[in-house]
């Protein structure tokens, strides 16, 4: 029996690279920086403090590519670096005020979202379209749930309300549904495609 036969099959795309502390450090720091860069792709909406950004796509990919622990670590590092003052949050914001402001719920829950997506990826849910789409959708729902709840608390508005009335759903969920569904679709197609190429 050869040494190769003793090797465990890769759980995530990152595992296609031989495991080492340097690999993990570079992966975590790279995805933290990718998240910061994507946060600068920002479209302010005016009626809500929550802008359209590209960072949630990177959050999903962090979990899918790195797995639960490293994906969560990458997002935790992103949140911490922004909180200490680096201009890593949407629109170049940073510092404690930005980290605890009305959009803080979205930032903090990035860690949980990446962990859950990563845990599902480690079980093979990122390897085909049928299972990858629900995995990434679950990650987005987690972001919405905590993000909207914190937004309601900070703005002192209800979570839900009638049509045309202020609510966390109207400010922090509804305007982003189409864009985030496209991000889910992009991640859900990208990772299975990469897996197929890696297995050739």
Q: What angle do CA 57, 102, 164 make, to 5 degrees?
A: 90
Name the residue among 143, 129, 141 with its Cα closest to residue 188.
129
pLDDT at residue 75, as a whole number: 98
Tokens matching residue 189: 């197609």
pLDDT at 91: 84
pLDDT at 51: 74
Residue pair 112/145 in contact (Cβ under 8 Å)? The answer is no
One digit per residue, the tens of pLDDT, for the chain of length 200 reads 444 334 577 889 999 999 999 999 999 999 999 999 999 988 877 777 777 788 999 999 999 999 999 999 999 999 999 999 999 998 899 999 999 998 899 999 999 999 999 999 999 999 999 999 999 999 999 999 999 999 999 989 998 887 778 889 988 898 888 889 999 999 999 999 999 998 77
Spatial contact of 54 and 41, defined as CB atoms under 8 Å apart? yes
Pick the CATH number of 11-198 from 1.10.290.10, 3.40.50.970, 1.10.1760.20, 2.160.10.10: 1.10.1760.20
Q: Tell me whether residue 56 is exposed, middle or buried, using C-beta atoms within 10 angstroms of its C-beta: 0 to 12, 13 to 18, 19 or more.
A: buried
Are residues 177 and 155 in contact, defined by beta-carbon separation less than 8 angstroms? Answer: no
The residue with tokens 């309601």 is 152
Instruction: Single out the residue of 35, 51, 55 nearest to residue 43, CA to CA.
Output: 51
**Exposure letters 144-164 (e unless 16+ CB within 10 A, then b):** bbbbbebbbebbebebeeeee
d(CA 82, CA 85): 5
Per-residue pLDDT at 106 = 92
Q: Which pLDDT belongs to residue 161?
A: 82
Predicted local confidence at residue 198, as pLDDT: 86
- For residues 51 and 39, give the distance between their C-alpha atoms in angstroms, rounded to a whole number: 10
The whole-number pLDDT of residue 6 equals: 41
CA 179 vs CA 10, 49, 123, 128: distances in Å? 31, 17, 27, 22
What distance in Å separates the CA atoms of residue 161 and residue 39, rounded to the nearest whole number?
Answer: 29
∠ CA 109-25-6, rounded to 5°: 105
Q: Where are the domains of the chain?
A: 11-198
């Amino acid at each position: 029996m050869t040494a190769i036969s003793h090797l465990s099959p890769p759980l995530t795309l990152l595992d296609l690279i031989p495991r080492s502390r340097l690999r993990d450090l570079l992966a975590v720091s790279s995805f933290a920086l990718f998240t910061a860069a994507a946060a600068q792709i920002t479209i302010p909406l005016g009626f809500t403090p929550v802008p359209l950004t590209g960072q949630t796509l990177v959050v999903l990919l962090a979990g899918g590519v790195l797995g639960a622990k490293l994906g969560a670590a990458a997002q935790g590092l992103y949140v911490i670096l922004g909180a200490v003052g680096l201009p890593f949050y949407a629109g170049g914001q940073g510092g404690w005020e930005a980290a605890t402001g009305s959009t803080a719920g979205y930032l903090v829950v990035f860690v949980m979202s990446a962990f859950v997506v990563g845990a599902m990826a480690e079980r093979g849910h990122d390897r085909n379209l049928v299972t990858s789409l629900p995995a990434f959708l679950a990650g987005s729902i987690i972001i919405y749930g905590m993000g909207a709840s914190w937004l309601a608390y900070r703005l002192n508005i209800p979570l839900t309300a009638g049509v045309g009335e202020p609510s966390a759903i109207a400010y922090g969920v509804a305007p982003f549904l189409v864009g985030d569904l496209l991000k889910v679709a992009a991640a859900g197609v990208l990772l299975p495609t990469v897996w197929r190429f890696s297995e050739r």
